[in-house]
């Protein structure tokens, strides 16, 4: 028997970044959405990724180093952070019980502190890796994930409520401890990939991003995602502007 869960999509700003960094065969720049999902389960409210920190719009010049301004631009302002998006859709950010971070890059955990009563579920490998990185790489920023919230570290697959409805699944490659979230509802199975796959096109042809840290693992994950999709799983890719236009936004439900 499947558990009744509801799933909602939230857009938390956009970033313009180099297209080849998403897909090596492209050129130029691409404006992509920063995505987050709320899943309402009978035993708790779970957020998958929390978008970017309001520090970006409060203090853009300090937050974004000069070199980073050359290859990215943030489109993110008040009203677009995850707490504001939740409130606008009729949800209470203080009612979120858990945040699952796919990984700890700044566009996936920057809103953690806006969910003050949530514990954070992250793979231990990811946290270890993130803590070793300098703060100025424009990838990991300690202020985003060292928030004082309880960091519950996982070691591999984890069934959040023990009923199979929400399962964290390691999908490392993009980062050493990247994870995705499998959501099983009465209506089917969804796989929230995070940055394990940025664009739908890459599910079709397995073209990798330029300069991935671990191309073998990234490709294996992509092949698994492709197989899942071919078996009827709804694979929700991380940063695809065209795909994202087809996803209903909260307060409308995905599932
Ligand atoms: Zn990302």
What confidence tens digit (pLDDT) does each residue in 64-107 have? 888 888 888 999 999 999 999 999 999 999 999 999 999 999 99
- Cα-to-centroid distance, 195 and ligand 1 (Å): 5
Query: What is the whole-number distance in angstroms between the Cα of residue 139 and the centre of ligand 1?
Result: 9
Q: Is residue 190 part of a domain?
A: yes
Tell how far the Cα of 238 is from the centroid of ligand 1, in angstroms.
7
Q: How far is the CA of 173 from the centre of ligand 1 (A)?
A: 13
Pairwise CA distance, residues 115 & 82, whole Å: 9
Residue 135 lies in a domain: yes
Q: Show the beta-strand stretches assigned E in 72-165.
A: 72-75, 98-100, 119-123, 151-154, 158-159
Token output for 216: 């073998």
Q: Which residues of the chain carry a pLDDT beneath 50?
A: none
How many angstroms does the Cα of residue 2 sit away from the middle of ligand 1? Answer: 30
Report pLDDT for 1.
61
For position 168, what pLDDT does the model report? 98
Whether 1 is covered by a domain: the verdict is no
pLDDT, residue 53, reads: 96
What is the count of structural domains for the chain? 1
- Asked whether residue 223 is domain-assigned, the answer is yes
Per-residue pLDDT at 129: 96
Residues bordering ligand 1, an ion, CB closer than 5 Å = 107, 195
Q: Determine the pLDDT at residue 67.
A: 81
Query: Would 27 be classed as within a structural domain?
Result: yes
Instruction: Provide the b/e sequence for 158-171 (b: ≥16 CB within 10 Å).
Output: bebbebebbbbbbb
The CATH number covering residue 176 comes to: 3.60.15.10
**Residues in a beta bridge with 16:** 31, 73
**Residue 98 falls inside a structural domain:** yes
Residue 68 lies in a domain: yes
Domain for residue 81, yes or no? Answer: yes
* Residue 214 CA to ligand 1 centre (angstroms): 16
- Residue identified by tokens 């703060």 is 135
Q: Ligand 1 centre from 40 Cα, in Å?
A: 23
- Domain containing residue 116: 6-245
């Amino acid at each position: 028997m499947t558990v009744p869960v509801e799933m909602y999509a939230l857009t938390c700003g956009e970033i313009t970044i180099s297209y080849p960094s998403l897909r090596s065969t492209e050129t130029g720049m691409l404006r992509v959405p920063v995505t987050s999902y709320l899943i309402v389960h009978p035993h708790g409210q779970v957020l998958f990724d929390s978008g970017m920190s309001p520090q970006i719009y409060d203090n853009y010049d300090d937050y974004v180093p000069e070199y980073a301004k050359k290859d990215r631009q943030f489109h993110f302002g008040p009203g677009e952070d995850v707490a504001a998006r939740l409130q606008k859709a009729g949800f209470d950010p203080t009612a979120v019980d858990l945040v699952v971070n796919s990984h700890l890059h700044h566009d996936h955990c920057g809103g953690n502190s806006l969910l003050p009563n949530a514990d954070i579920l992250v793979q231990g490998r990811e946290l270890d890796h993130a803590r070793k990185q300098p703060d100025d790489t424009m990838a990991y920023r300690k202020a985003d994930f060292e928030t004082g919230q309880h960091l519950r570290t996982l070691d591999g697959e984890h069934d959040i409520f023990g009923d199979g409805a929400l399962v964290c699944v390691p999908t490392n490659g993009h980062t050493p401890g990247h994870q995705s979230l499998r959501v099983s509802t009465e209506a089917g199975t969804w796989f929230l990939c995070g940055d394990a796959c940025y664009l739908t096109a890459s599910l079709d042809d397995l073209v990798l991003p330029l300069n991935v840290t671990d191309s073998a693992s990234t490709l294996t994950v992509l092949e698994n995602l492709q197989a899942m999709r071919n078996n009827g799983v709804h694979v929700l890719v991380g940063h695809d502007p065209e795909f994202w236009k087809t996803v209903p936004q909260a307060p409308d439900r995905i599932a």
